[in-house]
Structure 1
């Protein structure tokens, strides 16, 4: 009937051969899956080999079904293109050409067997052959471009890996600390300098910053919520010990960003400022010695001569005593300033902190008639070592302990002096607290404790704490006052660059 669809049955020309080829192909498919799973032989060999088998099977199906008129010849494009992916080159081009030749040859052979002029089928096979060759040519160009892009991507990947390794090497060798933190607060990278500044934390990778540096994390959170993406710097004390200057810089975009944290130890800068300060103080004291000390000596000598006169009444004698007492006090102040300006460069030594303090406290208690129960010493770990000038440390400790003895209580027998030292977790520095049970220092006076010439005593010069702090600074350490909620005074020495 005209207009009725014509369905072509596969294998209609040779059903027996068609049955054998389908059964064989099923077995080949099972074997191919197993060989692909075990990757034997090589995947490139498998791709070419199984493509040839697919082409041969399709040709047999075409033969048993009556030629290209069955409509499945277009499937030959797939096995022709697969070798370009597995093994591009002359083999793949040759397979495409041979497939086209065999396709036309198959139609000629079928036409000769039937004894018919099969012009339509030949035209169909020619068009299909042209399409296969065109697809092969386009596939070859696409594969070549993809191969070039893959090689370029591989080279770029190697370059990026080398650049990343170079950048990491540079970061690791920087003297300033570098920490890269993710948005979640987890540490992504830390160089050796930062690791040392943060107290050699163990197993820090992908851990929150707050675990190792809560003070740093506090400033980081403040920067994230209030300042980012602008760069900002802050000064802080890590673990209440190491003085650091930190700078936060955003890396990446606002949505996918990391933060670069630059850490700098301010102790070296502090020591430079200290050197400039002492140089200026030396020039000042030279002028003091010339302009003040000589006239002061003349005043003191004149007052002494006048006191030997027999014609003085009690009022005059009292005035001369006031002149001499204040001349002595002024001379003591000048001597203290001169001693500070003449201070030599510190000669640092490795000192066992607990052993040195034990010896010092024994002498101090002996000279001030203190009982053993009035002074306690606790250092953990016991083998803690510091680097400090022994003479300077003696002067600092003597000054601090002497102040506690003089001002903590009116009756020195009520004094309780506690010396506590150790290393905080995740900190490289050593803390030493000198604590007494006295009245403490009023809040309005704490800000001026370390100012030169500031004193609340009529007997002092106001230079003791100032000199103690300057000696600490010259040794790369720090001296500070801590208010205690329980009362009393606590002076803390922070020793930098501690070693065990």
Structure 2
């Protein structure tokens, strides 16, 4: 409703402006009739009548042109009244000047109709065209009975047809102009609203934003940028004068690929990024991210995860420690050799379990130490299989490896070894032991990526356990630590890879995929 009201007021303002210019034209025309009408060859048949009509027309223009008349009668009524007065006066001046052959009044009547089409309503425009037609025809009929020619009606009819054509064309042009102005006003309102929203978003962003012109001067900066840099960033100032390190860091590339550096008066660590704004002026938008805040958040997440892991690990270590302690106490009391051997075996098994758990946790702590290299996948997997089989041909036939020798994978060699060793170990534990029970194959779905598949023919992963299989300390094996798959996924993510369990029927065994980057 507000936009509609604004559009209507815009129409009225445009029509009011047009009416004012039209009144100025009327005033000049009336004054010209009074001062130099007869010198222009008008009013030759009745000079006194011509002068009287011209004076009356000047008075009418002055009376109807005052703002008081517009407020008293309203815009539409005053426009209709002024148009009617113009047509009647011009018809009278045409009669006193010798009829339509005088030319000037008839031509001015067309101009008046065109102006009426710009300021009046559609019905009023048609009324003015009809009034002009009737008056011109009546004047020609009166002149015909006074000795005029019958052929004059043809020319007068053409002129009257032109009245309607000019009036309608002017009205259509006025409507088109009003529609364009209404559209422009709506677009202007929408643009202003969008600009206000954008300014609010930029002002409330957690990142700092600085817009630089092609000359290095600040065109815009949000409050967050000033807060992060510890200084005011007025528009029009040279950024190099306020913060020399920022243009040097970003525009000269001294920050490196990360765009990380210590900037501002406080020397805070910030991640910076500069992009072109895409405008014709060559503006540059600089985004500033408080990297210290990000580091604090990362540290908090790591501490929270470490706390959960430590609590779970303490709980898991308690059980084998209790078994070791109890076995040690019984060992002191037991005199039989076979029982002593059994207790020593219990102690050794639980000690190895604790050692594996500690080793896995230490591997998890080294997940950020990634040294990627190009690994020939086929040779790497075959070496792992040979190591797992310990040279046994009977054991080797369980593994079916089908990998293109040309496939390479970009990853940390130690990490990849631990991931695949865990997957192959789980597959060997649950497979049937038949020939080809464990299938390892790989393919490149698209350039730059490779997917490794490890499939066994075992009982598969129960549906209720699929959502928990990668959680720490979850295991279905009595001697497992529950950290193998969890650490394998963490190491995969550290190498920009993804370790997933492929959904499928439980009876078809477990199917794991490792999607990673390949090397050229």
TM range (shorter): 0.3 to 0.5
Larger RCO of the pair (alpha carbons < 8 Å, separation 6+): 1
More helix by share: 2
